[in-house]
Structure 1
Amino acid sequence: MTSLLPGPAAATAAPLDARHRRPLVLVAVLGGAAAALSTLVVCLAAGVVGWFLADAGAHGAPRDGLRVGAFAWLLAHGSGLHVSGVTVTVVPLGLTALAAWAIWRLGHRVGDSVSGHGPDADRIADGERDWTVAVATACFAAGYVAVALVTLRLADTPATGPSAPRVLLWCLLLCATSGLASIAVGSGRAAIWTALLPAGARAAAATCLRVLGWYLAVAAVAFLAALVVDFGTAVNVMSRLHTDAGDATVYVVATATVVPNAVLFSASYLLGPGFTVGIGTLVSPAVVQLGPLPMFPLLAALPDSGTPPAWTAYLLGLGPLVAALAAAWSQRRLPTQRWEEGMLRGCAGGVLAGIVLALLAAVSGGAVGPGRMRAVGPDTVDVLVHAVTAFGIGGLVGGLLMTGWQRRAARRASLDSPA
């Protein structure tokens, strides 16, 4: 992957290194298929283990466990399915994150294996077109989609009806994001492309990632704190399900796959718009209106229905505060003494983080049952407006404060230095 980094040694060594000039199409297609199969095999194994733990294999056959594992993998790719005539469209983002991680790891290896193809760093810097990453990503996606379509064909039944177009769309999105980025990094092209970008653009992108990461960490802490406070309710839900040790283990693992969804719900709550747990409900710092809820342990983290305490209004300040701190911390690595540049970096990074958070919130909800449970999750437009506003203002303030501190430090250093 370092064969295309700037430098005459790397540029001359790449064509001679066979490890970085393997057949591009073959390696990329096999890499995509391997990325899909790696998580699919894990889901299939978990399905068989869950089938055995549920009733020690007294009912059904191992192929039933395999089918459940395949459906879990397809759900992670947005397939949805029908359960007893009820449509379920929610995506277990825990499994989706696992799939994205597998795509990243295999894509990075694919990029390293084909990094010797195409022009070297000097020719790319001179403006010569390089299609290595684009072709490798397309072949990688073809291998991934092929595995998905075969899985869909083998697991599909008239009663379940997973959506093939949704699976295809999610596979292409994963390969176009995690796959493209990992191949670009592994092949060394990302280092060349980012070096050509202005310092302000790189700083804004770094601020975006830091703001988003810090805020999701805060949302995760808030969700876990709410769950721990009312952990007895979650335990009571498990006891009322009358599950034995094997069933409880399977249920806990299945619950863990939607923890990222709950974290995004928590992020929406802290921003202000909140989320719904059914048609006609709302959970936000201003009002909590609930109805009958299914027996699901993570719902123990929900606040009580009615008017929330007055202190919950202060939670709305977490978004701007986290964005300001993250923007200031990010600017420490790429300092600037220009007020307008520090302001633009922080504000642009915060706005980008708000847009990404809204996109994540859009895929965190869906239908989880019949009737009123057909609408669960945050409202994407509300999250977008609140996130862009909170992160943009916070990033702007953080960028200005850090710029002022850096200007003061530079002035003090110039005064302390000898004439």
Structure 2
Amino acid sequence: MTSLLTRPDHARADAARPRPLVLIATLGGVLAALGPLVVLMAVGIIGWFATDAGVHGAPRDGMRVGALAWLAGHGSGFTVMGARVTIVPLGVTAIAAWSMWRLGHRVGDSVSGHGPDADRISDGERDFTVPTAILLFLAGYAVVAVVVATLAAGSTADPSVPRVMAWTIVMTALVAAPAIAVGSGRAAIWAAFTPATVRAGAAVAGAVLSSFLVVSALVFLVALAVSFDEAATMTSRLHPSPSEAGLYALVNAAYLPNAALFSGSWLLGPGFAVGGATLVSPGAVVLGPLPVFPVLAALPAVGTPAGWVGSLMVLPPLVSAVAAFRRLRGRALTWDQVALAGCGGGLAAGFAFAVLASRSGGAAGPGRMRFIGPFVSDVLVHAVTACGVGALLGAGVVVLLNRRADRVWGAGPEGDAPEPGEPLQPLED
């Protein structure tokens, strides 16, 4: 990033021969894919040995399970005893996204010396460094994904190669591309040309979305803790050994982000389904037979929930208001810019949550278990409304506090209202 600045004379000789962009970006994509893949394959081998001390099968069977888990985190789906499973373990997806971000940021920092410097970019010179690095990063990641999916395609699991490629492209666009732009320093330059309202709205959207996800996860964890005995009973029915119980816990942990998104959909009101003709919402709970999966112990009891349960629906707008208030307070914006940034950021956060919720469900088995997940269309309407209105209320509080401060501190020394960002002067006695 620092290489974007004007370089001193003694550094120009070294900067004249930067490391090849093609090599750096492509290798970064390959390593971003291989990191989580190798870890999951290692876990697969450990699981293969821990289950029966390696009596049955071979180490490659454990490696294949780890590779299938990595592919499942990229939306491939798999087949178990003839039943298609398409629900994505978003915990694996989150690990892959974290690897993409870390390696993408390093790639960006390594290629920051390529292309024009900051002064030339500010003068309007075209710079294709970041787009080129993103495409090369995608190529390296996609090669690993295609090779792994192709090798696993001959098994009975039958992963979907097109779905893996689609998820790879989307994850690169949403995670690796911003990381490369930030690491290279271009993002800071581009942001300087972005209106202050847009920057504030983006900050509000990120704060609202992340805060709501954290609250949703906490609500789920509390529900799971309350039903911990039931979860332990579910696990004991399988009669696992200690090592098998540990592996089973890892499998459940891979779906914790899915459960958090289910919990957020429940807080918004529409809720979600756990099988055909089922409903889990603050107003009613209708369930059928469930698989032995300890995470499902957090589900509420069948019937009409207690009256106080519905009051939890105030959390989404409340969290949105607090997050917007914290992000907008202290920014040098006019009242209409504050309101626009708050409302726009909240709407964007609600839309983003609905998109994540749409990826959290899928088929988990045959028959009625082919329908698991939030009711996406209803979640979209409720999320946009709750987050948008909540963030607007938080922005409104900021506007009121700013106007109160203006009345208390008064105008500047010349009698004119201070400009945004100018220190306010106290009233003279």
Shared fold per TM-score greater than 0.5: yes
Structure 2 CA distance, aligned partners of 1:252 and 1:357?
Answer: 26
How big is the shift at 1:16?
Answer: 4.8
Q: Indicate if the aligned counterparts of 2:6 and 2:117 stay in contact, CA closer than 8 A.
A: no
2:275 is aligned with 1:278? yes
Matches within 5 A, 1:4-403: 4=4, 8=6, 16-18=13-15, 21-336=18-333, 338-403=334-399
Quote the RMSD (CA, aligned, Å).
1.7
What CA distance in whole angstroms lies between the structure 2 residues aligned with 1:386 and 1:15? Answer: 56
Q: C-alpha distance in 2, partners of 1:297/1:21?
A: 53
Q: Distance in 2 between matches of 1:178 and 1:113?
A: 17
Between Structure 1 and Structure 2, how many residues are aligned? 415
Is residue 416 from structure 1 mapped to residue 426 from structure 2 by the alignment? yes
Amino acid at match of 1:278: G
Describe the shift of the 1:260–1:17 C-alpha distance in structure 2 as closer, same or farther (beyond 3 A).
Answer: farther
8 Å CA contact 1:3–1:14 kept in 2: the answer is no
Is the contact made by 1:15 and 1:21 (CA closer than 8 Å) also made in structure 2?
no
> Aligned partners of 1:97, 1:160: CA distance in 2, in Å?
22
Deviation at 1:126, TM superposition (A): 2.4
Rounded Cα–Cα distance in structure 2 between residues aligned with 1:333 and 1:212: 21
Contact 2:77/2:85 (8 A) holds in 1? yes
Is contact 1:28-1:137 (8 Å) kept?
yes
**Residues 8 and 157 of structure 1: CA distance in aligned 2, closer, same or farther (over 3 Å):** closer
Segments of 5+ residues of structure 1 without an aligned counterpart are: none
The answer to whether the Cα contact below 8 Å between 1:335 and 1:403 also exists between their aligned partners in 2 is: no
Q: Offset of 1:158 from its aligned partner?
A: 4.7
CA distance in 1, matches of 2:121, 2:375: 43
Following TM superposition, by how much is the alpha carbon of 1:155 offset from its aligned partner in structure 2, in angstroms? 2.0
Secondary structure of the corresponding residue to residue 295 of structure 1: coil
How much does 1:127 deviate?
2.2
Give the 3-state SS of the residue equivalent to 1:276 in structure 2. Answer: strand
TM superposition score normalised by structure 2: 0.93
User: How far apart are 1:382 and its partner, in Å?
Assistant: 1.2
In 2, the alpha carbon distance for the partners of 1:185 and 1:97 equals 19
What's the offset of the Cα at 1:157?
2.2
Give deviations 1:159-211, integer Å, cap 9, x for gaps: 22110000001111111111101100110000101111011000000000000
Contact persistence 1:3–1:13 (CA under 8 A): no
CA contact (8 A) 1:204 1:348 kept: yes
Cα deviation, residue 312, structure 1: 1.6
1:71–1:276 Cα change, 3 Å: same
1:406 corresponds to: 402
- Separation of aligned partners in 1, 2:13 and 2:406: 47
**TM-score of the two chains, using structure 1 as the length reference:** 0.96
Contact 1:107 1:186 in 2 (8 A): yes
Task: Give the aligned residue type for 1:300.
Answer: A
Distance 2:16 2:300 in 1: 56
3-state secondary structure, aligned to 1:372: helix
Cα distance between partner residues in 2 of 1:17 and 1:105: 26
| 3-state secondary structure, aligned to 2:84 | strand
In structure 2, what residue type is equivalent to 1:340? Answer: D
CA separation in 1, counterparts of 2:338 and 2:392? 8
The CA deviation at 1:311 is 1.1
Offset at residue 32 of structure 1 (A): 0.3
Q: Deviations over 1:118-162 (max 9, x none)?
A: 122122222222111101000000000001111112222252211
Work out the percentage of aligned pairs sharing the same amino acid: 55
Query: Could you list the runs of 5+ residues in structure 2 that have no partner in the other structure?
Result: 411-424
